[in-house]
Structure 1
Amino acid sequence: MKIAFFASSLVSAYWNGAATYYRGIVRALHERGHEVTFYEPDAYDRQKHRDIPDPPWAKVVVYSAQSEAEVLQTVEQARGADLVVKASGVGVHDALLEKAVLDLQRPGTLVAFWDVDAPATLDRVHGDASDAFRPLIPRYDIVLTYGGGEPVRQAYRGLGARDCVPIYNALDPSTHHPVPPEPRFACDLAFLGNRLPDREARVEEFFLRAAAQLAERRMLLGGSGWGDKPLPGNVQYLGHVYTADHNAFNCTPLAVLNVSRESMARYGFSPATRVFEAAGAAACLITDAWEGLETFFEPGTEVLVARNGDEVAQHVRTLDAARAREIGQAAYRRVLAEHTYAHRAAQVDAVLEGCGARPVLAEAA
């Protein structure tokens, strides 16, 4: 199958939290025999902050997004693909792309919307009856999401989606795996995540509040945008951490922290990429509590769960190296057995096989 994928970036994780997800999915689809062309705009200085070269498992097309005409010319290059994917959060000309890809829809060409931030999309659409994306939803052959579970599925179906299927984050064992610890990442608790409006208050609660209670412990904060944030004295800010350093960042600390964005915690069933990256590195993960967590990992055995910063601090106080290793190894076994991108790509194939039998709506033909 020839797949055309319009999304933020495959080659740069700079201000692009979905990069690991895209890489894992696209690589696994390639390994199943599909031919993927990934179209990404030259935007947000991502091309200046590439962390991988063009990979052998996808053709990368970087296009200029200075004008709508240039975007439409790029979309036309995808004509004739067996599957055209418009991902959410491209970052430039999203509304134009959401409409333009539907012009490629015809018998033999499926068009899918792949939502990598379904809570934000649904909140926006439900909050604005005139949102331009809303009437387009029923025209897509299928909506795929990287999280959200049944609440997101029902929400999209309520908006007219023919079907909505979660394709969750996962692990690519070839890129995220245990490595020797690095002294520069040595600490008791580390958190990696960009500064975003609907995450900041939760980072303050689960990470900074915990750090303030553990003044004798060393903490690390990685991710873009935190440079002017007041931090407790025991927190060292690292700035953007490149993908190549993620394994050491996860393997070295006593524990690593996951803090969900507010919208994802509210919808549940939305494990962040960092959850599987940490498990793939056999790290001891402490996560904020969210509905559906037990679908992926067993609390207390494969992951430690906290409802607030006080509980994060308590986990760190009582955790020793042996217990941390035990939890990390249990998570590592679980993720390899059930949550790799090979598992997810097989699911995508099964979903698309069923989707291909559906007729194309007359108004979208």
Structure 2
Amino acid sequence: MKIAFYGSSILSSYWNGAATYYRGLLRALAERGYDITFYEPDVYDRQKNRDIDPPDWCKVVVYDGTIEALKRVATEAGNADIVVKTSGVGFEDDALLSHVLAASSPAAMKIFWDVDAPATLAELKSQPDHPLHQALGQIDMVLTYGGGHPVVDAYRALGAADCIPIYNALDPETHHPVAPDPRFNADLGFLGNRLPDREARVETFFLDCAARSPEQSFLLGGSGWGDKPMSSNVNYIGHVSTRDHNAFNVTPKAVLNISRASMAETGFSPATRVFEAAGAGACLITDAWVGLELFLADGEEVLVARDGHDVADLLRDLTPEKAKAIGERALARVLSEHTYAHRAAEADRIFRAFAGARAVEPVQ
């Protein structure tokens, strides 16, 4: 089956946290025989900051950030058996969705794939005239990369025919144990871009913890933090390329996951960094959120903190031996249950069930 996939970027993770998800899932689907074309706009300097070459498992079409180019690539949806428009493409999202749906074959499966469901649902709640309200009636299914039953229930209440989470996961070919790198030496590392929905929680879980733990060393990676006040035991290193994520995860004694506020409130929303860290065999400390136990076991495969005080206590009591054991158990768990091969198998079942059901629909 042919998939036309309209997303933010598969070639660049620059200000594009969904890149890891797209790469892992689409490569695993390609291994199952799907013929995939990924359409991404040339915006936000992402093409100047590519961190992978165009892959051999997916055709990539980069189009100019113009309405004319958008319309041109949207017409190619008509050649696909499965048409996917994601949230957060970053250029004229509403127009792209409208043109893609109009161009799609009546027989094609039309999917809205939401990679930030809490944010999208907040928009829909606050904007009764949001174009997605009407578009849901033309969409066969909403897929999300997180959210669990709160998101599923919310989308169904808004009129979606169905909503199914296809969670983030691990791609063992890209995220795996490596040798430590002295550039990333620290007791605790955190990697994440500065975003309004995350900043206050980074202050609480990471920066405040560092300020009250002068005997510990802290490593901060990600874009946008340069002018943020921080204690002298925090080493800020800016943007970290995906090729260095494994070393960033395995070198500190522990690494920290801090969910954006909306995702923490919604629950069932593991960030890609959860699986990246576990896949590298890192000891992960995460903020608490409902549904975590579906992915990792507290105290055995991950350490859970309610605030910065908890992070400081966990870090103080964490020995290198205990950290190593937690990382090893986390790696074993995600390899057995949470790889993109597992997620692609779920998506494949969904696609084939839909195709089978449509094939036996009575002719009107």
- With the shorter chain as reference, the TM-score category is over 0.9
TM-score norm. by structure 1 comes to 0.97
TM-score norm. by structure 2 comes to 0.97
2:26 alignment counterpart? 26
Question: Hey, what's the Cα distance between the residues in 2 that align with 1:259 and 1:281?
Answer: 18
Structure 1 position 103, deviation (Å): 1.2
1:42 alignment counterpart? 42
Q: What does 1:217-256 correspond to in 2, within 5 Å?
A: 217-256=216-255
Question: Hey, what's the Cα distance between the residues in 2 that align with 1:356 and 1:153?
Answer: 22
Question: Hey, what's the Cα distance between the residues in 2 that align with 1:107 and 1:42?
Answer: 29
Is residue 154 of structure 1 aligned with residue 153 of structure 2? yes
2:3 alignment counterpart? 3
Structure 1 position 358, deviation (Å): 5.2
8 Å contact from structure 2 (residues 77, 104) kept in 1? no
1:198 alignment counterpart? 197
8 Å contact from structure 2 (residues 76, 103) kept in 1? no
User: Which stretch shifts more, 349-358 or 149-158?
Assistant: 349-358
1:284 alignment counterpart? 283
Amino acid at match of 2:183: R
Q: Which runs of 5+ in 2 are unaligned?
A: 360-364
1:109 alignment counterpart? 108
RMSD: 1.3
Secondary structure of the structure 2 residue equivalent to 1:356: helix
8 Å contact from structure 1 (residues 142, 355) kept in 2? no
Question: Hey, what's the Cα distance between the residues in 2 that align with 1:133 and 1:229?
Answer: 36
Question: Hey, what's the Cα distance between the residues in 2 that align with 1:166 and 1:233?
Answer: 41
- Residues 109-133 of structure 1 deviation map (CA, whole Å, 9 limit, x = unaligned): 1110000000000011011111121
Secondary structure of the structure 2 residue equivalent to 1:287: strand
- Residues 90-111 of structure 1 deviation map (CA, whole Å, 9 limit, x = unaligned): 0111011111111133343111
- Residues 254-304 of structure 1 deviation map (CA, whole Å, 9 limit, x = unaligned): 000000000000100000000000000000000000000001000000000
Is residue 85 of structure 1 aligned with residue 107 of structure 2? no
Question: Hey, what's the Cα distance between the residues in 1 that align with 2:257 and 2:137?
Answer: 34
- Residues 314-365 of structure 1 deviation map (CA, whole Å, 9 limit, x = unaligned): 00000010000000000000000000000000000111122224559xxxxx
Structure 1 position 236, deviation (Å): 0.9
Question: Hey, what's the Cα distance between the residues in 1 that align with 2:19 and 2:279?
Answer: 16
8 Å contact from structure 1 (residues 101, 111) kept in 2? no
User: Which stretch shifts more, 76-85 or 299-308?
Assistant: 76-85
1:177 alignment counterpart? 176
8 Å contact from structure 2 (residues 201, 260) kept in 1? yes
1:363 alignment counterpart? none
Question: Hey, what's the Cα distance between the residues in 2 that align with 1:78 and 1:140?
Answer: 14
Count the aligned residue pairs: 360
Structure 1 position 16, deviation (Å): 0.4
Structure 1 position 217, deviation (Å): 1.1
Amino acid at match of 1:330: R
- Residues 73-104 of structure 1 deviation map (CA, whole Å, 9 limit, x = unaligned): 11112321111100100011101111111113
2:162 alignment counterpart? 163
Question: Hey, what's the Cα distance between the residues in 2 that align with 1:315 and 1:184?
Answer: 24
Q: What does 1:57-68 correspond to in 2, within 5 Å?
A: 57-66=57-66, 68=67
Is residue 55 of structure 1 aligned with residue 55 of structure 2? yes
8 Å contact from structure 2 (residues 12, 50) kept in 1? yes
2:17 alignment counterpart? 17
8 Å contact from structure 1 (residues 107, 359) kept in 2? no
- Residues 131-188 of structure 1 deviation map (CA, whole Å, 9 limit, x = unaligned): 1211111211110000000000000000100000000000000000000000010100
Q: Which runs of 5+ in 1 are unaligned?
A: 361-365
Question: Hey, what's the Cα distance between the residues in 1 that align with 2:309 and 2:75?
Answer: 53
Question: Hey, what's the Cα distance between the residues in 2 that align with 1:204 and 1:146?
Answer: 26
Question: Hey, what's the Cα distance between the residues in 2 that align with 1:163 and 1:283?
Answer: 36
Amino acid at match of 1:345: A
2:258 alignment counterpart? 259
Question: Hey, what's the Cα distance between the residues in 1 that align with 2:268 and 2:21?
Answer: 16
Amino acid at match of 1:163: D
Secondary structure of the structure 1 residue equivalent to 2:78: coil
2:362 alignment counterpart? none
